[in-house]
Structure 1
Amino acid sequence: MRYRVRVAAAALSGLTLLAGLSGCGLTSGSPLVDDVHPGSVGQGEPLKGADITVASKEFTEQLILGAIMGIAFKAAGADVLDRTGIQGSIGAREAIKSGDADAMYDYTGTGWITYLGHSTPIPDPQEQWEAVRDADAKNGVTWLPKAALNNTYALAMNQANYKKYGTKTLSDVAALAEKDPGAVTLCVESEFANRADGLPGMEKKYGMKLPAKNITQMDTGIIYTQAAKGTCTYGEVFTTDGRIKAMHLTVMDDDKKFFPNYNASPVINSKALKKYPKMAEVIEPITKKLNNTVAQDLNSKVDVDGQDPHDVAKDWLVQEGFVKE
């Protein structure tokens, strides 16, 4: 499973999709047929008569978030066209920007760095969201208030190593590396090992100097397995990945706020929001409920337990009382 699509990969896959978008528009998708009704959101069916197209990217978390949004709008009375699963960040972004889709969840860091072209992230998550919201308004895209859910990089370790070394923050990891250089071994992706907002930048920010022999590069999925086994003391992970919970990994706090914020936020085509302003009211309380713990749990149901993302999304909405079946 891929979590956040990186800039280069997103651009490549996005450009492929853009060729299709420019030629004939988005034509994929199917109407949502869920028999759902208002719970704590959508009372009075404020979106009755609205035709809304919901999009997402192709990875697990995005499929779940797209389904959450679509089902919520459906319960509020809208006719919803499901166009979730677009390949690549750029393609999904273009669908919203062009009006081929109306709404999706996206990430503040992706908006700031990938879409708007900034190289330096803003450490404070609220200020980062505000900067993206303000800058993207001129592109006809509205970023609604963000969730606590923050799908960013982290280092994580198994319980045995956590009990052995007791590190809780990346500053603790840096101190351990200085005290006992052999204790800090890392399993990371090759991209993370070489990008400025990955390992090199992290080492610089925290004053780490890890020898090359302590760093093993491998595919994402293997990292979680090897970290769980203790083959490496720390593995590079994404903070909302369901395997963190399933494999009982402990995540180190980025106490110096080095890694960019990737908070999930409802992103809506501004013309569509003007036409159907109640979309904001329907989705806001749901967004407030989304955090890393919720995301890990929902992602785990798909990636570990093999459940369908749409079913996971609907079950959660019903369980939380947002909608009724």
Structure 2
Amino acid sequence: MNAITSKTKKITALAAGLTLLLTGCAGEPNANTDGGDAELADASLTVGSKEFVESILLGQITAVALENAGASIEDKTGITGSATVREALQTGEIDMYWDYTGTGWVNILGNTTEEVPEDLYAAVAEADAENSIAWLEPAPFENTYAIAVPEDFAEENNIATISDAVTFIQENPDQGSICAASEFINRDDGLPGLQEAYGFEFSEVVELDLNLVYAQIGKECFFGEVTSTDARNLANDLTVLEDDLSFFLEYQGAMTLRQETLDEYPAIANIMAPISEALTADVITELNGQVDLEGQRPKDVAEKWLESEGFLE
């Protein structure tokens, strides 16, 4: 096999601008709305998130909901990288953030993708409890990694599955490039594991900020890393390839927080349970689209949705 070649695209100005749009006033305390039943009137809590839209949006939903219950909230959404935000949780820099079961199983707990328990959420929650981290009940959406190509490219070359893509790349190595973010390129449950499971290598790896990948599929590269609940798949006319060998893990979203925080403020679980239950795949994809496609601020989208669902008083 050819060795993977990787070239880094530094588009810092665009990435920085998008980060400012997504995080708004990240790092500054939100103004208290004096709403709700003041279940958390004595609580001062810091809400974090990873840097991509869905994670920031989930962080903002959490912040608005807990603030509505009387808590004083500091916004630290938009932290770059799974390892960084997890460390922030463990060290007390933040009190909570949303993560995914697949990330918990592989990246946090150090397991492999070869032996995955049937109830992944239960296994992750039980194991991470030993680290004094609680996983609240997951939302009914799964945001898995996926590989996508332009719709017309898929149709012209009869590519519907990742196995189809492997055959195509082996026959057309000059069209075997993939755009992907640094984390996916280096994660065992990302590109390295995918290539090992399917027995191939992309001929070129183009490293981009994740927020720039979608628009570059079919331009900068033929294939791209995407996630399943991202509205930009539809907006950019992308075909998400079937993972016919079922390599990618289940990535069910759930809020994580230190057990000591939950013990001190058990109302957090009660407040978040119905909100989490309402976050179906269709709902989170629609909310993602309001940010990604319409340019709305995550906090505004969060407030509007919570209010429309009757979660704010």
User: What TM-score do you get using the length of structure 1 for normalisation?
Assistant: 0.72
Map of 1:286 onto structure 2: 275
Structure 1 residues 242 and 317, CA gap change in structure 2 (3 angstroms): same
**3-state SS of 1:323 partner:** coil
Greater shift, 131-140 or 182-191, is seen at: 182-191
Aligned length: 285
The alignment status of 1:301 with 2:260, answered yes or no, reads no
- Displacement of 1:201 after TM fit? 3.5
Cα RMSD, aligned residues only: 3.5
Map of 2:306 onto structure 1: 317
The alignment status of 1:103 with 2:96, answered yes or no, reads yes
1:197-276 equivalences under 5 Å are: 197-199=189-191, 201-206=193-198, 209=200, 212=203, 215=204, 217-219=206-208, 220=210, 223-228=213-218, 232=222, 234-276=223-265
Check conservation: 1:188, 1:223, Cα contact below 8 A. yes
Q: Distance in 2 between matches of 1:54 and 1:149?
A: 21
Check conservation: 2:179, 2:216, Cα contact below 8 A. no
**3-state SS of 2:299 partner:** helix
The alignment status of 1:35 with 2:24, answered yes or no, reads no
Map of 1:19 onto structure 2: none
Identity within the alignment, %: 37
Matching residue within 140, 156, 159 for 2:132? 140
Check conservation: 1:152, 1:239, Cα contact below 8 A. yes
Q: Distance in 2 between matches of 1:259 and 1:34?
A: 40
**3-state SS of 1:205 partner:** helix
Q: Distance in 2 between matches of 1:211 and 1:268?
A: 37
Deviations 1:246-269 (A, max 9, x none): 213221232332123332211121
Deviations 1:275-304 (A, max 9, x none): 211211211222223344433433333334
Structure with greater helix percent:
1
Q: Distance in 2 between matches of 1:204 and 1:98?
A: 35
Check conservation: 2:89, 2:95, Cα contact below 8 A. yes
Unaligned ranges ≥5, structure 2 = 1-25
User: What TM-score do you get using the length of structure 2 for normalisation?
Assistant: 0.74
Structure 1 residues 47 and 211, CA gap change in structure 2 (3 angstroms): closer
**3-state SS of 1:136 partner:** helix
Map of 2:67 onto structure 1: 74
Map of 2:10 onto structure 1: none
